[in-house]
Structure 1
Amino acid sequence: MIIAFAAALWLGLWAFAPPGERSMIKESYPDIQIVESLRAAFLNFSQGVTPDSKALVAGLAIGERDLLSDEMTQQMKTLSLTHLVAVSGANLAIVMGAVFLLAGLFGVRRNLRFLIAIAAMVGYVLIVGPESSVLRAATMAMFVMTGIWIGRGTNPMVSLSWAIIFLLTIDPGLAVDYGFGLSALATAGLVWLAVPIYKYLSKHVPKWLALGIAASFSAQLFTMPILIMLQPSIPIYSVLANLLVEPVVAPVTILGIIAVVSAMSFPPLTWGLSLLASIGTWWITLVADTVSGFPLARMHFVSGPIAVVLLTLIALLTGLVITRSDSRKLFGSLLSVVLAVSAGWSLTDLARANTFAGNWSVLQCDVGQGDALLIKSKGAVALIDVGKDPSLIAKCLNTQRVTRIDLLVLTHYDADHVAGITGLRGIQIGQALLSGFRDDRPLVATVAKVLESAENVSIGHRGLTGVLGDFNFTILAPSFDASEASDSNDASVVISFRSETLGVLALGDLGEAGQSRLMRQMAGELALLRDQSLIVKVAHHGSSDQSRELYEFLEPEVMLYSVGKNDYGHPTDRALRIASSIGALILRTDKQGSIALRNQDSELSYHQSGKLTT
C-alpha cells in the first residue's frame, strides 16, 4: 500500500508541476563556509595521474562534475557511467559502514555506533551538498537505520517509499528533478530485481560476475524511462562497462573521502591518497575511452512520450516475469508484444531518419540546443558550427555520408556551438574559419587540438570571400580582431552563401545591436541575398535579442530555428512573431528534427526527419 501511495504521489506531483518547477532544497541550500573551505582545499591539493583521473576522484568522492573534460563526460554518457559522479546510496553505505565497523573495533557500544554512523552520514551529506541522489539516499538510510536500531528490521522497498513520500512532501519540486528520479528508480530496480537475477545467474556463472550483472542490469532497466528523455538511445555496453569499473569504485571512494577529510588538517595525506586513488580512476577513463569507441555503442530507440511508456512497460513486465513464477507465461507474452512494438517502431523510425533528406542543398542538423548547419553544392560541403554533443553532430554527418568538410566555420566559442567538435574526428577538414575575438575558455584549446589536422585554419573576417561549388560565400562580420564586439556572441562569424537561385545567411548568436551594425556595414551584400530564395538561420536560437529591421529588409522565405530543450524560452514569442509578420516559413529543429532544404525549378522545398529520431 505504501509503495503504491509513494508512486501515486510522485506521478501526481510530476503531472501537475507548474512550468519551471525546481527543488526548493537545492535552490535555497546555503553556502557553509567550513564546507566550502574543505572542498576548496581538497580540490587544491588533490593530484592525479591524468587530468580526467584527478577529476574523477573528486567526482566519486564528493560528486564534483565540472572538472571532467567534455570528451570524457560524453564517453561516460555514452556508456551510462555518469552515475559514478552522482553521490548516492553506495557512497553513504561505504561511509557509514566504514565508520560503524571502525567504531566497533574500538569497543564502542551498538547504540552509540549507530549515532556515530548517522553523524558521519550527515557530515558527508553536508560536504557533498544538496544533490538529489544524496537527499534520497540519506533519507532512505535514516528510515533503514531507524528500523534496525529499534529492532524491527526493515523492508528496503518500504524504506524507499517512505523516503520518497517524506522528501516530496517537504519539497514537491523534486518530483520533476531528473537526478531524484534516476536515484529512486535505480534503487527500486536494485531492491526488486537484483536478488532474484543474482540467484538465477549464480547457478551458471561465478558469483562475483552474477552480482555485478544483476546490479547493473536491474538499475539500468529501471532508469531507462528517464534516461531516454535525456539521451534518446539505448546504451549497448553499459553493463559491460559497469562490470569493468566496479572493482575500483569502492577503493577509490574510500581513498577519496579520506583525502577530503584530511585536506585542511594534513594536505600531504590528501596529495598522496588522491594520487593513489587516481590510479583507479585512470582505469575508469581507459574503460570509458575504449568501450565507448566500440561499434554501435548506443542503439537507436524512439524518443518522446511513447519511448517513456514503452520502456516503463518493458521494465515492469521484465520485473514481473522474473519475480512472478505463477504468471510468468502471461507476463512473458505481454513483454514479447511490447518488445516487438518497440523494435518495429524504432526500425521504421531509423529508416526514415536515414532517408528523409533526399538531394539537399541546406541541412539543419538537429543537435538539440545548439547550431550545426550544412551547405552542399557539387559535392563540396560547408559546416557552420557543430553543436554541443559530439555524438549528435557525428550522427548527422554519418547519416548524410559526409566524410569531408571543405569549409568549417565556428562562429564563436560558446559550448552549444563548438563543444561537439570532437565528433568531427575522422572527418577530413579543408579550410576552417574562426572568430578573431580574444577568448580564453577551455574549449579554445579543445578546438585547436581537433583542428590540427585541418588543411588551413584562419580568421573569418569581414570581406573574406570564397567558393563552395555553385555558391559564392562572404564573411559579413566581424572584423579581423572583432574589436567592435562587446562579447563572444557579438563577435559571431556571420556568413552568407549565394548561388544563382538560392541564398543562405547564418547569423550565429549575433544580437540586436550586432544585427543593426551588420545592416549599416554590409547593406549592399545583404541586398544581394534578396535576389534569390533566401534561407536565414535565425540568430541565437530565436532569442528575443533580434533586429526586426534586419529580417524585414531581407524578407527570407524560410527562417530556421536551431533549438532544443532549454531554460531560456528559445525560440521566444518575439522571434517567432518577426518571422510570421514577414510571411516567412518557420522551421524548428525542436519540433521537426533535422531539416533538409533544396531549391529546384525556383521552388524551395523541405523534408524533416521528425522528432521520433535520435
Structure 2
Amino acid sequence: MPLLGGAVWLGAIAASLIGASAYPLLLAPGIVARSLTVTHGHRRLLGALVLAAVAAVTITLLRHDAVRGSPLADLAARRGVAELTATVVSDPRTVPGRAGPQAVVRLRVRGLTARGRRLRLGGSVVLLGDPSWEKVQLGARVRARGRLVPADDPDTAAVLIDVRRPEVLAAPDVWWRASAALRSSIRAAVADRPPEQAGLVPALVDGDDAALPAAVEEDFRTTGLTHLTAVSGTNLTLVVGALLLVARMAQVGARGLIVVGLLGIAGFILLARTEPSVLRAAAMGAVGLFAFAHDGRQRGLRALGVAVAALVLVQPGLALTAGFALSVLATGGIVLAGPPMATALGRWLPGGLAEAIAVPTAAQLACTPVIALVSGQVSLVAIVANLLAEPLVGPATVLGLLAGVVGLVWPWAGHLVGTTAAWAVAGILEVADRGAALPGAAIGWGSGPLAVGALAVLCLVAALALPRLVRRPPVAVGLALVLLVVLLGLPGRLWSRSGSWPPPGWVLVACDVGQGDALALNVAPHQAIVIDTGPEPDAVDGCLDRLGVRRVPLLVLTHFHADHVDGLRGALDGREVDAIEVTPVLDPPGGVDLVRETAASARVPVRLAPYGATRRVGAATLQVLHPDLPGPVPGAGDGSSANDASVVLLVEEAGVRLLLTGDLEPPGQQQVASLARGLDVDVLKVPHHGSSHQDLAWLASLRPELALISVGADNDYGHPSSGVVRDLRRDGAEVRRTDRDGDIAVVADGPGRVHVVTGR
C-alpha cells in the first residue's frame, strides 16, 4: 500500500508539471507489461504500481482539461463580464489592494449569465470584491457580477474581479450555521484575554488564525510549532479522542464508539472547514492513530498508503503542495522512526516520556528537508520546543472547544472555561517566545537541489542512527548537551570573537562602497539578494567576495542614479545572477542604458520590480511597497525624478523585519506611509544616505531598533545630516554608518532582535 500511494502521488505530480504532455504516459501499462522479465509476483506488483500511477495521471489530466474547457475559462480568456450564481465554499478574508482593501472568497459556481446566455454549470472561481463580502457566511448561495480573468491555479476556472456588494440568495444550511456559531463562540470565550492568547486558542481548536498576531506566527515558524496553528492531524486526534473518552465514560459500546468517532471526524471537518488541507489533516490524523498500536508500523504504513492514494485521486492539486508533503512525511516519520526511537529511549526513561520525545523527533527529521526547501532554514530548537509545548496542546485544545460549546448556552460559563484554555496557551506562547530568542534557534540552509539533497541524507542517517545511540543514557545526554550548546549560540559567539567574516547568522550586510548604496541580503549559503551596486564595480565585487557570495537569485536596482548602478558589472562578475529588477521610472537615461547594456552582455534578464507582490526567495520574504506604477515611464530625463521612484522593499528574514528605501525623499516617503499604515520595522536602511531631506515623523513612526546609513567618508553633500542622526538616536535607534564602520553586518538574535558586527 505505501508503494501504491507513492505511485499515485508521483503520477499526479508528473501530470501537474507537464500537463497535456503527460498523455503518452497512459501507454505505460502495455509497455511495462511487454518488458517485464521478473517473477510473477513482482510482475503483479509492478503492474499494480503502474496502473495506480496511470490512474492518477488520467484523473489529474481530465480534471485540468475540464477546468480549461469550461465556459468560465473561455470567458475569462476574453475578460468578459458575467453574472454568477454560486455557493460560498471558503471563509472570506480581506487583503490589501491598490484601490484599498478587497475581500477574497472562493465560490462553487451553479449558473452563469453572460452575453445574453444562461448556463447551468459547475466550477470553482475566486472572487475579489468589495470588503462587504467578508460578512458573507460560508455555505451561503449568492449572486455576483464582475469581470472574469484567467486564474493561475489549474483547479480554478477563473478569477472574478471588480465585484460590488454581495447579493445573498439563500442562507447557509443548518450544519454550516451551527459550525459558524461554534467558531464564533470559541472566539468570544477568549475575547477578553491578551491578543496572543485570544488569537491562539481558536487557531489550536479549528485552525481559525485570523486574529493571531504576526509576531506569534514568526515565533512559531522559528521554533517549528507552526503545525499547531494550522489544521493538522493533531487537532483531529485531540478533538475526536476527547469525544471517545466521554463516550467510554458513558459506557458506550464498541459499535457505538465507532459511530461516535465517525461523527466526531465529520463534525471536526465541518468546524475546521471542508477545504483540502482539512481533509488532508483528518486523513493523516487517522493514520497516526495506528503508529504506536500493536503491529503499528505495518498497519500505519498500509493506512498511510491508502490515505495518500485516496487524497490525491480525489484532489490531485494536493500533490504539489508543501502542506501535503509535510503531512505525509511527518506521518511516515512517526510510523517508521517513532516506535524504534521510543523503544530505545524506553530502556531507561518512562514509556510516556520516551514516546513524547520520539514523536516530535521522528516527525521533525522527516519534514526538515521540505522545510529547508520552502524556507531556506533549519530549526534546531523545534524538537525541544515541541516536547515542551506538547503537554499543553491537549488541554488547550479540548478546553477551547469546550468553552465554545458551553458558551453557546451559558456565555459566562464559556468565558470561564475559555480563561483556563488561555492559561494553557500562555505556556505554549512562552515556549515559542523563549525558543525563538535563542541565538541558535534556526540556521540558514540552502534551498537548492544539492543543499536539500544533502540535508535529506543527513536526516535519514540520523533517523537510522538515533535509536542505537539514545539507548545508552550517557550518549543520549551528550547529544542533548551538544544541542543545548548550539542553541545557546556558543559556537557562533566564539566564531564572532575570532574576527571571522561574515559573522554566523548574518541577515544583511551594508557594503562600504563609498558614496553610494550596495546591500547584500543573505538567503542561503553562498547566495544573496543584492540591492544596488554602488558607484564602482571593484568595491561591490570585493564586498560580495568577502561574504562568499557565488550566486545572486535576485538583484534589485532601486533607481538609475550612478551611485546605485555604476557598480553593476562588479556584482555580475564571476557570479550566477538569475534576474535584475528595476524601477519603472527610466530616469536618468544614461543609467538606464548602462544597466541594459551590462545586463545584456551578461545575458541576465531585466524586469520591473512587481509592486505589491510578496515572494519567498530562499530564507527571505520580500514585498515591493513602492512605486505603484503599472508599467515603465520615462521620468523627467535629467535624473530629478529618480530618487522618489526608488524601489522600496519590505523584507522579513529570521524573525527580523527590514525596510530598504533606496533614495526615497519626503513625497515618496509619504506615499509609502499612506500605502503601508502602521509599518513597524526592526532595521531601517535610512533613505538617501541620511540626507536632511526626510519626513522625520515617518522615520520615527517606523520605530527601528537599528538604522543603517550607507555613505562615503568626507563626501561633498553633507551626508549624513547630524540632525537626522540625532533624531534617530533620540527615538531609540542604534545608528551605524559605513563611512565609520566599514561593511556593516546585521545579525539576527531572534524575532525582532539584532546586533551589529562591523568590518572594521
Shorter-chain TM range is 0.5 to 0.7
- 1:423 pairs, out of 675, 678, 682, with 682
Q: Please name the residue that 1:288 is paired with.
A: 432
- 1:59 pairs, out of 195, 203, 210, with 203
- Equivalent residues in 2 for 1:136-155 (5 A)? 136-140=280-284, 155=299
Aligned residues of 2:2 and 2:301 also touching (Cα < 8 A) = yes
Task: State the alpha-carbon separation in 2 of the partners of residues 431 and 88 from structure 1.
Answer: 51
Measured at CA, do residues 247 and 143 of structure 1 come closer, stay the same or move farther in structure 2, by a change above 3 Å? closer
- 2:251 pairs, out of 101, 107, 124, with 107
Aligned residues of 2:684 and 2:704 also touching (Cα < 8 A) = no
SS at match of 2:623: coil
1:197 to partner: Cα distance: 1.5
Aligned residues of 1:229 and 1:308 also touching (Cα < 8 A) = yes
Q: Please name the residue that 2:442 is paired with.
A: 298
1:166 to partner: Cα distance: 0.7
Q: Please name the residue that 1:239 is paired with.
A: 383
Task: State the alpha-carbon separation in 2 of the partners of residues 422 and 414 from structure 1.
Answer: 16
Residue 584 of structure 2 is aligned to residue 391 of structure 1: no
Measured at CA, do residues 75 and 449 of structure 1 come closer, stay the same or move farther in structure 2, by a change above 3 Å? farther
Let me know the Cα RMSD of the aligned residues.
Answer: 5.0
1:93 to partner: Cα distance: 1.9
| Letter aligned with residue 158 of structure 1 | R
SS at match of 2:409: coil
Structure 1: unaligned runs, 5 residues or longer: 326-344, 374-381, 437-446, 456-466, 472-614
| Letter aligned with residue 274 of structure 2 | P
1:208 to partner: Cα distance: 5.0
Measured at CA, do residues 179 and 454 of structure 1 come closer, stay the same or move farther in structure 2, by a change above 3 Å? closer
- Equivalent residues in 2 for 1:365-384 (5 A)? 367-371=620-624
Q: Please name the residue that 2:672 is paired with.
A: 412
| Letter aligned with residue 389 of structure 1 | E
Task: State the alpha-carbon separation in 2 of the partners of residues 46 and 72 from structure 1.
Answer: 17
Aligned residues of 2:236 and 2:265 also touching (Cα < 8 A) = yes
Task: State the alpha-carbon separation in 1 of the partners of residues 383 and 289 from structure 2.
Answer: 30
Task: State the alpha-carbon separation in 2 of the partners of residues 205 and 383 from structure 1.
Answer: 60
Aligned residues of 2:203 and 2:209 also touching (Cα < 8 A) = yes
Residue 703 of structure 2 is aligned to residue 451 of structure 1: yes
| Letter aligned with residue 7 of structure 1 | G
1:414 to partner: Cα distance: 9.1
Aligned residues of 1:189 and 1:218 also touching (Cα < 8 A) = yes
Task: State the alpha-carbon separation in 2 of the partners of residues 244 and 425 from structure 1.
Answer: 35
1:237-283 per-residue CA deviation (whole Å, 9 max, x = no partner) reads: 11122222122111001101112223323322321112211112122
- 1:222 pairs, out of 354, 366, 369, with 366
Task: State the alpha-carbon separation in 2 of the partners of residues 197 and 70 from structure 1.
Answer: 35
- Equivalent residues in 2 for 1:109-508 (5 A)? 109-140=253-284, 155-204=299-348, 207-321=351-465, 348=526, 354-356=547-549, 361=564, 367-371=620-624, 385-387=648-650, 389=652, 391=654, 409=669, 411-412=671-672, 421-424=680-683, 433=695, 450-451=702-703, 469=719
Q: Which has the higher contact order (CA 8 A, sep 6+)?
A: 1
| Letter aligned with residue 3 of structure 1 | P
Measured at CA, do residues 111 and 102 of structure 1 come closer, stay the same or move farther in structure 2, by a change above 3 Å? same
SS at match of 1:66: coil
Measured at CA, do residues 432 and 164 of structure 1 come closer, stay the same or move farther in structure 2, by a change above 3 Å? farther
Structure 2: unaligned runs, 5 residues or longer: 20-59, 68-88, 91-105, 109-123, 125-137, 140-175, 470-522, 529-543, 556-561, 569-580, 582-608, 610-616, 627-644, 708-716, 722-760
Task: State the alpha-carbon separation in 2 of the partners of residues 277 and 202 from structure 1.
Answer: 31
Larger Rg: 2
Aligned residues of 1:233 and 1:300 also touching (Cα < 8 A) = yes
Measured at CA, do residues 160 and 236 of structure 1 come closer, stay the same or move farther in structure 2, by a change above 3 Å? same
1:211 to partner: Cα distance: 2.9
Q: Please name the residue that 2:15 is paired with.
A: 16
Aligned residues of 1:160 and 1:188 also touching (Cα < 8 A) = yes
Identity %: 25
SS at match of 2:2: helix
Measured at CA, do residues 319 and 255 of structure 1 come closer, stay the same or move farther in structure 2, by a change above 3 Å? same
Task: State the alpha-carbon separation in 1 of the partners of residues 653 and 209 from structure 2.
Answer: 18
1:310 to partner: Cα distance: 3.0
Give TM-score, length-normalised by structure 2. 0.47
SS at match of 2:437: coil
Q: Please name the residue that 1:38 is paired with.
A: 182
SS at match of 1:65: coil
